[in-house]
Amino acid sequence: MKKITIFSVVFLLLAVVVISGCTTQSTGNNTTNSNKTFAKEGISFQYPGNWSEKAIPANDANLTTQSGFKMITILLEGNDMKDYTVYMGIGKSNMTAGNLTEAANRLFKYYITAEAGDYLNTTNITLKNGYSGYEYTYGGTGASSGKALDCKTYIFTKDNKTAYYIQFATPRGGFEPYKTTFGNILNSVTLS
């Protein structure tokens, strides 16, 4: 009888360990534990697997084009521009004056100021992979969504020939829970 009881306890403990290893914990803002890789136009990065690539809205594309940038794509956590919890826009530009400040000023003048309204802070940054750049933090109204947003736009370069931007936006008050996710995306950026 003792052999059966000891065997049962060992078997039960082994079963609990195996089953608990098959579960995942949610981070609160990423309901999947897998990432996707974005790799186009000389930029690549990892992003949450529950986000999806969507058509570029005309308003965003027009503002980006006016600034001398080409919008590469948008990624959303949500269904569409009227129903999302996270917006991520990615763009690219040749640097006509050979310096990032000139490219950042163009994007600021024609795109960021079109959306910014409530607050605006600018900071010089260096991304994890050594790319120098600027960070714009602002609140305003989304050009395509019409939503009140909290935004951060990062403009950076590897070679002082091509500038890239990544813009993160959430509906007002929703930014804080995604800071770690946004940081992980930025830390995974590589430019070719």
pLDDT: is 11 or 90 the higher one? 90
Residues 141/143/149/155 CA torsion (nearest 10 deg): -120
Residue 7: the pLDDT is: 46
What residue segments make up the domains of the chain, in order of their start?
A: 32-191
| pTM (two decimals) | 0.79
Residue 14: pLDDT over 70 = no
Top-confidence residue, 43 or 31:
43
Number of alpha carbons in the 13 Å side-chain half-sphere of residue 164: 22
Query: Are residues 159 and 16 in contact, defined by beta-carbon separation less than 8 angstroms?
Result: no
Q: Is the pLDDT of residue 179 over 90?
A: yes
Q: What is the pLDDT of residue 6?
A: 54
133-160: average pLDDT: 90
pLDDT at 59: 85
Residue 29 has pLDDT above 50, yes or no: no
Q: Which superfamily is assigned to 32-191 in CATH?
A: Mog1/PsbP, alpha/beta/alpha sandwich (3.40.1000.10)
CA 80 to mean position of chain CA atoms: 16
Choose between 40 and 82: higher pLDDT: 40
- Cβ-Cβ contacts under 8 Å for 128 (sequence gap 6 or more): 186, 187, 189
Task: Assess whether pLDDT exceeds 60 at residue 26.
Answer: no
pLDDT the model gives residue 141: 85
pLDDT of residue 33: 62
Over range 90-95, report the average pLDDT.
Answer: 93
Structure tokens at 35: 């990432």
The residue-averaged pLDDT of 96-114 equals 86
Q: Is the pLDDT of residue 17 over 60?
A: no
pLDDT tens, residue by residue, 115-136: 887 788 888 888 888 999 999 9
